[in-house]
Structure 1
Amino acid sequence: MTIVKFNQARLSFNPLLLLIFSLITSAPTLAQSTQEKGLAIAKERKARDVGWSDSIADTSMILRNPRGDEAERKMRVKSLEVTSDGDKGLTIFDQPLDVKGTAFLNFSHPLEADDQWMYLPKLKKVKRIQSQNKSGPFMGSEFAFEDMSSFEIEKFKFNYLRDEQFQNMDCFVVEQVPLEEDSGYSKTITWVDKEHYRAIKVEYYDRKDSLLKILTMHNYQLYLDKYWRPMELRMDNRQNGKSTDLITHSLEFKTGLSDNDFDKDSLMRAR
């Protein structure tokens, strides 16, 4: 191994050598600062969404194939904020008849794999979603099971990439690398608007580091004078040409939901 020694006196008289020396010695600091900035943006994004307690939404899921043919599903989405853990979610499908009564329960965790179950009314059976299957499609949509979890900072490594405008908004562009080995993604890249720290766009890259799909969020509404929620989400799969829209028709916060509304028995009680 060759050890390079720099003569500080010579460097001071040679601008080119001084520049090279500066770049070499400052590279680790620059790399660390982008990681720290990426983490700081993620923490601020999370901090601005604390205290909403619980919510119930009436939502439509629109599945679209490459030819443009559409199929609509109607569902209710119940969410519970958990201060000591990840959030909980319960999705109940009401229409059409072939999915009516199907229910999905998700317990997000910051440090462990999420717990996920589905109730299939035709089988009258609760099925646990295994970690290695969470990259699979959720109810035939372009959303994966892992996309249905809440945003937990501890699950990612962050790296600030750049500032960029998107939809006429000044945004931070942040790379997120999942730490969970069963994730279907090598990384995601998120555009976060600088004013409200809302996710506006997310690019998902598959395990081969190829662009898989793009999520865009539209029509943000403010609730309780603090909490921003997108009324329309669109997931475009760039590899198969399919897309899925999630459209929220109504949303209510602080409805009185509790842990008792989010257990495995609640899956079978869902109507």
Structure 2
Amino acid sequence: MRIQDLPRGRVVAAVALAALILAPATVRAADSVSLPDDPTAKGLAIAEATDRSNQGFGDTKASMKMILENAYGETSVRELRSMTLENPNTEEGDWTLNVFDKPRDVDGTALLTYAKILDPDDQWMYLPAVKRVKRISSVNKSGPFMGSEFAFEDFSSTEVGKYSYKWLRDEACPAPVADRTCHVTERYPEYEHSGYTRQVVWTDTTDYQPRRIQYFDRKDELLKTLTFDDYRLYLDKFWRAHDLFMENVVTGKSTRLTWQEYSFGNGLTENDFSTNALKRAR
């Protein structure tokens, strides 16, 4: 399957937020962003400001460790590779491919995502044990990805048009940058079958990076919290968080993602993000 053969997502007024939830970019200085007073318009403007400066990254590659910890403090570690291709079509989101390398029981397992706006994301998994590609149903995107505290929908790029917004307040950012000020906003999924009723986002007003996201389940109760740390600047423009920690406040389980070896301009094409690429990604 080729990307151009897929149906296009619907256009919305504000398209395209901060790349992957796992890889947002930056605005140079807070005073470069003009924000309206209306809370709804202000929330949207903050999301758009984060998104604008990530445009033009082209493609990225990175390696990652996924550290799973249960409620008893027992841990297991997985290693994987991640690739992202920027989609020039602003009616849709970016394309991502994640491939597991270790341990042996998950070696070759791969997840391919074509992010959309309001239409359901297209997602496929390759399962090497049975040597077949499985399409992920749009109604199952809230399920856990590979036993982690990240859902399938968390591994899709977070496009602006997927949400409606509301600015709540400004306050001190969470540690370790408590000396900075964050915009605190709510965003509400506009796409169907989300596992969340809303998300509360802390965005650093210094560089417009997300520092924390709280996820509320379908009962509108706090389910989990994601924190971003160890930001590094690439190509004098693009910020990437190298430490993401997702904690389930209900079960006490957590998943930490640590990123290494980011590279840009790798010459990736849509052929590297096809369902056939899933099978040969190993």
Aligned counterpart in structure 2 of residue 121 of structure 1, from 117, 121, 128: 128
Contact 2:117 2:191 survives alignment (8 Å):
no
Pair 1:182-2:193 in alignment: yes
- Structure 2 unmatched runs, 5+: 1-36
Secondary structure of 1:40's partner? helix
Distance in 2, Cα, partners of 1:261 & 1:249: 21
Residue number in structure 2 paired with 1:33: 38
Aligned counterpart in structure 1 of residue 271 of structure 2, from 248, 256, 260: 260
Rg (Cα) greater in structure: 1
Distance in 1, Cα, partners of 2:55 & 2:171: 26
Aligned counterpart in structure 1 of residue 150 of structure 2, from 119, 143, 147: 143
Task: Normalising by structure 2, report the TM-score.
Answer: 0.84
Secondary structure of 2:38's partner? helix
Q: Which amino acid aligns with 2:220?
A: D
Pair 1:67-2:72 in alignment: yes
Distance in 2, Cα, partners of 1:145 & 1:193: 26
Q: Which amino acid aligns with 2:46?
A: I
Distance in 1, Cα, partners of 2:88 & 2:48: 15
Distance in 1, Cα, partners of 2:261 & 2:65: 10
Q: CA RMSD in A?
A: 1.1
- Structure 1 unmatched runs, 5+: 1-31
Residue number in structure 2 paired with 1:211: 222
Distance in 1, Cα, partners of 2:77 & 2:181: 34
Q: Which amino acid aligns with 1:163?
A: D
Q: After superposition, where does 1:147-158 map in structure 2 within 5 Å?
A: 147-158=154-165
Name whichever structure is richer in helix by fraction.
1
Deviation of 1:187 after TM superposition, in Å, equals: 0.2
Distance in 2, Cα, partners of 1:83 & 1:234: 30
Distance in 1, Cα, partners of 2:197 & 2:119: 18
Deviation of 1:181 after TM superposition, in Å, equals: 2.4
Residue number in structure 2 paired with 1:103: 110
Q: Which amino acid aligns with 2:153?
A: E
Distance in 1, Cα, partners of 2:144 & 2:254: 12
Q: After superposition, where does 1:190-269 map in structure 2 within 5 Å?
A: 190-269=201-280
Q: Deviations over 1:27-63 (max 9, x none)?
A: xxxxx91000000101101101111100110100000
> Which portions of structure 1, spanning 4 or more consecutive aligned residues, are displaced by more than 4 angstroms?
none
Deviation of 1:141 after TM superposition, in Å, equals: 0.1
Which of structures 1 and 2 has the larger relative contact order (alpha carbons within 8 angstroms, sep 6+)? 2
Distance in 2, Cα, partners of 1:112 & 1:196: 31
Secondary structure of 2:276's partner? helix
Residue number in structure 2 paired with 1:77: 82
Q: Deviations over 1:211-255 (max 9, x none)?
A: 000000000000010000000000000011000000012111111
